[in-house]
Amino acid sequence: MKSIAILGSTGSIGTQTLEVIRDNNQMFSAFMLTAHSNAYLLIQQAIEFVPRYAIICDDTRYQEVKEALAHLPITVMSGHQAIKETVTHPEIDVVLTAMVGFAGLEPTINAIKAGKDIALANKETLVVAGEIITGLAKQHNVKILPVDSEHSAIFQCLAGEDYSKIEKIIITASGGPFRGKTTQYLANVTREQALKHPNWVMGAKITIDSASLMNKGLEVIEAKWLFDLRADQIDVIVHPQSIVHSLVQFQDGSIKAQMGLPDMKLPILYALAYPNRVTTNFIRFDFINYPHLSFEKPDIDTFRNLRLAYEALNQGGNMPCIINAANEVAVAAFLKNEIGFLAMSDIIETCMQKVRLIKEPSLHDYLNTDKETRIFAQNLIQ
């Protein structure tokens, strides 16, 4: 039995993780659930799964959660500090990080320091501080198991392989709702259009990142750290059907791909059960229903964020942290209809030019860079 802490249990990945736990309750149990402010769903989840801890970040919702769960043996707490401390509990085996954005960084660091394996959905953590995270994981002999579907695909292709024999990896991208569109078209797209992803139902932030291709840029950086690669070993290819989840090309020219219908429950289950494979009744992929799987080059002139992410990766230091913070602010503003779609890339590019580059940042530097960039980006919006 593995005891799982889910950071962000009320989100898209969090709720799908609970479905996986519900379907495999002989193998997994939920030890800790956390939400930002969705008290209602956290309460429902806690009543069903009876975790040892239920934590709500928003202090104003604490009483409501506490009272609703008073009849159960659940410790209810509030605030980020409670999450950072509780992830180190000795009874936790795996911490599944499904919070959005930079907020996932510090709890993940604490969990690694306490020797917990990480099932990592929160890609921003690796984008911001990949070097620190992978260094700590090595030091504490902790596994970072990817939940992101592309990285899970690569991880599965690499099972039993020597990582030093990788020539390159090829990350697939659906292309999002605006695939094939022009810059002129993007200038006028609305929030509602951007939130309609063709193949995946996900939280709002990652859905906008998918529409702007920033998600793919963040995934390139995530892959660099997960698989210890150079930027020139990481290719992106657009594959609108989202069936081939990603590929690895080895030094003998052989390519392995991992395929399946788009369903995040599979990579979640693979990460939680690793190194075992579990029998499921998920709907099977049938080649006959997909006579045409197609592939095309990403348009990095129109979708500038992908190019900016490669630039950030090449510059290194705190630059990926800068683009991440700028992007979080830009996406939040776009979701509030404060800026247009293209302004998101403008904000990121300006932050890359103006916020101070630190070549070898400490954790303290990353925390400062994140703060500084957010203030700078916010000023560009007002």
Length of the chain: 382
Q: Residue 168: which of 230, 113, 87, 114 has the closest Cα?
A: 230
Rounded to whole angstroms, the Cα distance separating 189 from 105 reads: 32
Any contact of residue 269 with ligand NDP (CB under 6 A)? no
Q: How far is CA 203 from CA 14, 57, 97, 103, in A?
A: 10, 18, 14, 15
Q: How far is CA 198 from CA 106, 215, 269, 334, in A?
A: 33, 15, 23, 20
Asked if 341 and 348 touch (Cβ cutoff 8 Å), the reply is no
Contacts to ligand NDP from residues 78-107, by CB under 6 A = 98-100, 103
**Choice between 41 and 380, CB closer to ligand NDP:** 41
Q: Report which residue's Cβ sits closest to ligand NDP.
A: 11
Contacts to ligand NDP from residues 136-175, by CB under 6 A = 148
Any contact of residue 13 with ligand NDP (CB under 6 A)? yes
Any contact of residue 54 with ligand NDP (CB under 6 A)? no
**Choice between 42 and 342, CB closer to ligand NDP:** 42
3-state secondary structure at position 121: coil
Any contact of residue 222 with Mg ion (CB under 5 A)? no
Residue 273 beta carbon to ligand NDP: minimum distance, rounded to whole angstroms: 18
Any contact of residue 209 with Mg ion (CB under 5 A)? no
Rounded to whole angstroms, the Cα distance separating 203 from 186 reads: 21
**Choice between 63 and 254, CB closer to ligand NDP:** 63
Contacts to ligand NDP from residues 227-266, by CB under 6 A = 264
Please state, as a whole number, how many other Cβ atoms lie within 10 Å of the Cβ of residue 197: 18
**Choice between 117 and 148, CB closer to ligand NDP:** 148
Q: Which of 106, 148, 299, 372 binds Mg ion (CB under 5 A)?
A: 148
Residue ranges in contact with ligand NDP by CB under 6 A: 8-14, 35-38, 57, 98-100, 103, 121-124, 148, 200, 202-204, 206, 264
